[in-house]
Amino acid sequence: MLTISRNQVFNKSESLEKAGKALVKGKIDKAIVEYKKILEADPDNFVIRGKVAPLYAEQNKMLEAWTNFKASAHGYSRAGFVAKALGVYAQATQYLPNELELWDSIARIQLEKGMKVDAIETLNRASENFSDSKSLNKAVYLLKKAFNIQPWHYDTTLSLADDLSRVGSIPAKVEAIGLYTGLADRVKGPRLRVVRYRHFKASPGFGTFWRYLKSVFKD
């Protein structure tokens, strides 16, 4: 048993050394091969998974990249290294900005650790990656999560109302109007003018235009 253990340690060290040298030479394929050898012997090695994930991403193998980013972050989190887990996820956002589960995971960890402001900022920032018409429902999903954390947060509410007004369905339009109206009741000055203008832009009409004009000349 002792001899096998020593061999395993030696093989791991050798593969790590080979992977390091391969990366220095820009040979990503060879580095991945060596990291895979380690993972075959130790699939739960979340440190190595964190090393190999960005290499897969560099090769545009996004499924493999996300699988390893996720496994690495989960491993760090289970081991109690929450900051490391968030670091892994943060790196993943550079390659996978449209991975909804990724942003969900970051916000969840932040909330669990009492980082409420950070979670709201994460969800708002994430929603910007889903601004096209095909992905709009994902933006709405993220912004609703942020709204539930802190109702009537100015940036969250305004973005959510804007996106809902673009969804196209009548229920979404009604919900957007409710958000514009509710937010307008809670803000003043320049912010009120922005809300009134965005409401008019989303629902052009005499009433929304008149309320916008009133906000302009109110001060």
Residue 104 lies in a domain: no
Residue 198 lies in a domain: no
Q: What is the pLDDT of residues 75-105, one digit of tens each?
A: 999 999 999 999 999 999 999 999 999 999 9
- Mean pLDDT of the 106-128 span: 97
Whether pLDDT at 2 is above 60: no
The number of distinct structural domains making up the chain is 1
What angle in degrees, to the nearest 10, is found between the helix axes of 189-202 and 154-167? 10
Residue 112 lies in a domain: no
CATH number of the domain to which 6 belongs: 1.25.40.10
Q: How many CA atoms lie within 13 A of 84 on its CB side?
A: 16
pTM confidence score: 0.86
Residues 153/146, Cβ–Cβ less than 8 Å = yes
Residue 190 lies in a domain: no
Q: What is the mean pLDDT of the chain?
A: 91
The mean-pLDDT minimum among 17-21, 45-49, 149-153, 186-190 falls in 17-21
**Whole-angstrom Cα distance, residue 120 to residue 58?**
29
Q: What is the pLDDT of residues 36-52, one digit of tens each?
A: 998 999 999 999 999 99
Residue 162 lies in a domain: no
Residue 10 lies in a domain: yes
Residue 213 lies in a domain: no
For residue 217, the model assigns a pLDDT of 87
Band the pLDDT of 1: cuts 50, 70, 90.
Answer: very low
Q: What is the pLDDT of residues 132-179, one digit of tens each?
A: 989 999 999 999 999 999 999 999 999 999 999 999 899 999 999 999
Q: Which residues contact 55 (CB under 8 A, 6 or more apart)?
A: 28, 31, 32, 35
For residue 219, the model assigns a pLDDT of 58
Residue 9 lies in a domain: yes
Residue 78 structural domain? 1-96
For residue 20, the model assigns a pLDDT of 78
Whether pLDDT at 210 is above 60: yes
